[in-house]
A and B are shown apart, each in its own frame.
Chain A
Amino acid sequence: MIAIRNVSVIFNQGTLNENQALRDINLNIKEGDFITIIGSNGAGKSTLFNLIAGTINPSVGSIHANGRSITREPEYKRAQYIGRIFQNPLLGTASNMSLEDNMMITYRKGFKWLKRSLNSKMREYFRSELVQLKMGLEDRMKENLVMFSGGQRQALTLLMMVLSKPSLILLDEHTAALDPKNAEIVLELTDKFIREFNLTSMMITHNMGHAIEFGNRLLMMDQGEIIFDVSGDAKKELTVEKLIEKFHELRHRGFENDRALLSE
């Protein structure tokens, strides 16, 4: 569905600070894939997401969606079919507006016109969807989002993104900034929604256990390269130990320094 061909991203090209964030990446994201991505800091995981979402453009190579080149398509246009959730739970919603207003803005993608769509029918629909989160948010629809916890806001962002039915969702360590209990709830909701709506998705995580437990495909990144791409039965047999061993075998250096970051 989304294909990345021979893409490299180089920051500050031609200066002393030149930094190759991605090296010759080739990746085919198939419909229905749930890909988990692990790698230490600076491995290029977030750069990869920025590239797919259109926040940055590749220095070399091209990106295609359903056979159409989207290499130069701006971020806001790609957002019509690519949903993204950030680590910062405040980035998905507007703090100074009420829950129902936020839902009004996010339930449908694209430009909004001069009409007032928020009516009692809409409110009823939002209420029924909010019930799925099991957080009691359905009774707080008039409250400003500034009153809500990070976990509640992230769950809301997730719900609204799912309702807008994107072709691909990008989860950029979306539970990392939450407390363990909320992180668990949001992660469970994520898994539930992805299964229920059969969403094609990619999830960056620092938790190797989660990377193994969730999804049908796993990518390991290091220094701007995808060094390990495993799916299907081979992925099911993975364990944290096997992954660390694999890293050592591929890169000929220890995983010890990264271990603290990657596992619990």
Chain B
Amino acid sequence: MKLIYEKSQAGRRGIGVPKPDLPVPEVPQELARKSPPRLPELAEPEVLRHFTKLSTRNFGIDTGFYPLGSCTMKYNPRVNERIVGLPGFANLHPLVEDDAAQGALELEWHLQEILREVTGLDAVSLQPAAGSQGELTGLMLFRAYFKDKGEDAQRRKIVIPDTAHGTNPASVTMAGYELTPVKTDARGNIDVEDLRDKVDEHTAGLMLTNPSTLGLFDENIEEIRDIFHGVGALMYYDGANLNAVCGISRPGDMGFDVVHINLHKTFSQPHGGGGPGGGPIAVRESLEPFLPVPVVVKDGAGFRLEYDRPKTIGKVRAFSGPFGVFVRSYAFIRSYGPGLKEMSEVAVLNANYILARLKEAYDLPFDRLCMHEFVLSARSLKKEHGVSALDVAKRLMDYGFHPPTIYFPLIVPEALMIEPTESEAKETLDEFVDAMLAIAREGAESPELLHDAPHDRPVRRLDEVRAAKNPIVRFRFEQHPVEQLPVEQSAGARQLEAQKGA
């Protein structure tokens, strides 16, 4: 498919711009551009068809099954969009006084209350805009807490298991801490013996995703809690996998002191295209004084943004956070009502259903009941037939599915990480399983078919290495000289003429 610049024809116009009926301001010579901008020149139907065609090449949860492990690509109910589009929400200016934004503040307050209940903790800040920002904010709270106790210089280490999301070690470094990695044992839990050797009075805390990126709930979480709390250290819960446990178990009850919640995953936002996301944090009472400002508080019958928190770490984002995200997630949660637990139960059930049907055809590094996701390995396919996890993922696209997450977590070779979410019907799960089983057979019988996949997509196998080393991120005008029209006909000349007005 051609780029819109390549479709451009010199002099073609979609609309006729009327001559301005106001005097054109004088642009100082040194600021005026020497030549007109090289905008693509097309008629309106050409533009419309170009972008409509592009949109049909997109793949999203609205077009198909999207089992991208760890990303919780669940369906985004349309009612969310209807609510967030209500004029009182959509047209609200962020700088209005509290008394003109009572409905919005009330929604934020209720969302804070719900997140307190879901996490089993005492106080919430809605500010962080993503899970990674929630992590950094949480670790900054750790530091503020220990500084207040006079222990910041002593406690320099954060413990992270080798299954962690890459954002965890990055947040540790950004917050000025040192990383202490800890291993995973044969059942997929944190290796508690390895942990005991590494936790002491220099430890500030633990960052843990539970269930882990292996989709496994850590069976020793209470023992782990005792190890950390025993030396006065704190525990951070990466809420990336909260979709597995809502209404069933609470991070606060497991001993965690700070939790981030990925609103865009667990509580539905369109997030395949980069956001916006929401990463609120919930904290134990001992950390509440340090929360970012403002916090929404209930004051008599009304609500207000409270800034007066002397020990606050400050602001981490403009205003009170990504408001549209709050409205959608609030609408989603209230649509479930008391049945929110069912969301997690079905997410776990769906994952276990697929796992049970696939575990004979692929390697299963940790053979346990999984939570909302699980990790298979294409290790045997690779060893016996030279077919990699990447080949399996590319072939899945021919069957009309979004590939799962691959090569993560790092401790599983040839990893395929599958998260179906609660949104899918059994027929869809079966179609996906049938495709995965067919691909395992194809891999054994005709490996080339997989090496060359995808066969049936708008583009074939992309050269990821070349894309990483030599990315082309803009149209290279210098390689496409302007087609010279006679001066009086040239679009540029006409355009400049038109701008001069009558």
User: Do A and B come together as binding partners?
Assistant: no
Q: Which A residues fall within an 8 A CB radius of B?
A: none
Q: Which B residues fall within an 8 A CB radius of A?
A: none
